[in-house]
Amino acid sequence: MSRLRFMATLVALAVAGALAVILPMSPASAAACATPWSSSQVYTGGMTASYNSHNWQAKWWTQNETPGNADVWADQGTCTGGGGNPPPGGSCNYPNWVAGRNYVTGDIVKYTNGLYYQATHDNPGYDPTISTWYWSPYTCTGGPTPTPPPGSGGFVVSEAQFNQMFPSRNPFYTYNGLVTALGAYPAFAKTGSDTVRKQEAAAFLANVNHETGGLVYIVEQNTANYPHYCDASQPYGCPAGQAAYYGRGPIQLSWNFNYKAAGDALGIDLLRNPYLVQNDASIAWKTGIWYWMTQNGPGTMTPHNAMVNGAGFGETIRSINGSLECNGRNPAQVQSRVNAYTRFTQILGVAPGNNLSC
């Protein structure tokens, strides 16, 4: 190669190198958002939808399964423009909350009370109105504005109706104590339609009516039973004394392990201070609502779930005292509860529904 051609080649290479430095590649931009995900849309494997500023690809047939569930959807990365979900304050078109479905931080759902909630931590479908750690209220425009039902603090039973239900009640069982206790479980009598809410309130109060003789009795009347409610096999024993865990309150909470469980759930040391249930109206009501919302008892579901999922009043009886009353064991006791329930639903102006007996 001649010296001239050699120098020309070096110049060309230098120019090419300089161009490589001074002409950077255009950065890759985020993909455009696909059509927003819809809870009513059927998606088959390979179809895409946008949700929370990400594109998602369905792995197989799916409907009403929120993107973010890795078993069903594959995350295709962030997206901009096009579809996507509305920003905070935007229009409300979010999917309905589904119990037991996995949600990731940022997911927005519409709850059965007509309000919207955003996941503040990943969770396996916890109730938005119970878990304030995993969910927080979300405000958006254009959505329905639920009308609070009548009563104090949004409770479907007014004080006048409460007094009509319990004309001979013990002054200990105050309406204010009941309303205050509602804060421990916000989903109580606030889940589902107005009809369902009233039915649940009537069902709870009907069982309470039976357990306490019309809200007359605060403590169990058969004192001979008192020493029998200590299960000494529990590691924590009965620190308040063997005869301290007799029935108290609207659901007649009894046994040391129930006082322990209720106290742990409510943040009150009822194991060592069971007498609080007969001395503090709000605590008494809270123990009743605790059982209603969280315990299956001898049944297969909580009384709350029995009412909001349509199983009927009879299943609440089974969950409270089914082993002694249901399946023909004590029809008179069952009828007593049913009579109170139908009377209370009449006071609230709502049909009692089906499956009244157990």
Q: Name the residue among 81, 75, 70 with its Cα closest to residue 49.
A: 75
Q: Name the residue among 290, 203, 284 with its Cα closest to residue 249.
A: 284
Is the Cβ–Cβ distance between 55 and 70 less than 8 Å? no
Q: How far is CA 221 from CA 202, 241, 248, in A?
A: 25, 19, 10
Burial level of 142, CB count in 10 A (0-12/13-18/19+)? exposed
Distance, CA of 238 to CA of 219 (rounded, Å): 18
Q: Please state, as a whole number, how many other Cβ atoms lie within 10 Å of the Cβ of residue 72.
A: 17
Which pairs with CB-CB distance under 8 Å and at least 24 residues apart come from 87-90?
88/138, 88/139, 88/140, 89/139, 89/140, 89/141, 90/140, 90/141, 90/142
Eight-state DSSP code of residue 134: T
Does 211 participate in catalysis according to the annotation? yes
Distance, CA of 229 to CA of 235 (rounded, Å): 15
**Choice among 200, 211, 315, 325 that is catalytic:** 211
User: Which residue shows structure tokens 């709502």?
Assistant: 350
Is the Cβ–Cβ distance between 209 and 250 less than 8 Å? no
Distance, CA of 287 to CA of 282 (rounded, Å): 9
127 CB-near residues (< 8 Å, 6+ apart): 99, 187
49 CB-near residues (< 8 Å, 6+ apart): 34, 35, 36, 37, 38, 41, 43, 55, 56, 58, 67, 83
Is the Cβ–Cβ distance between 301 and 317 less than 8 Å? no
Which sequence positions are flagged as catalytic? 211
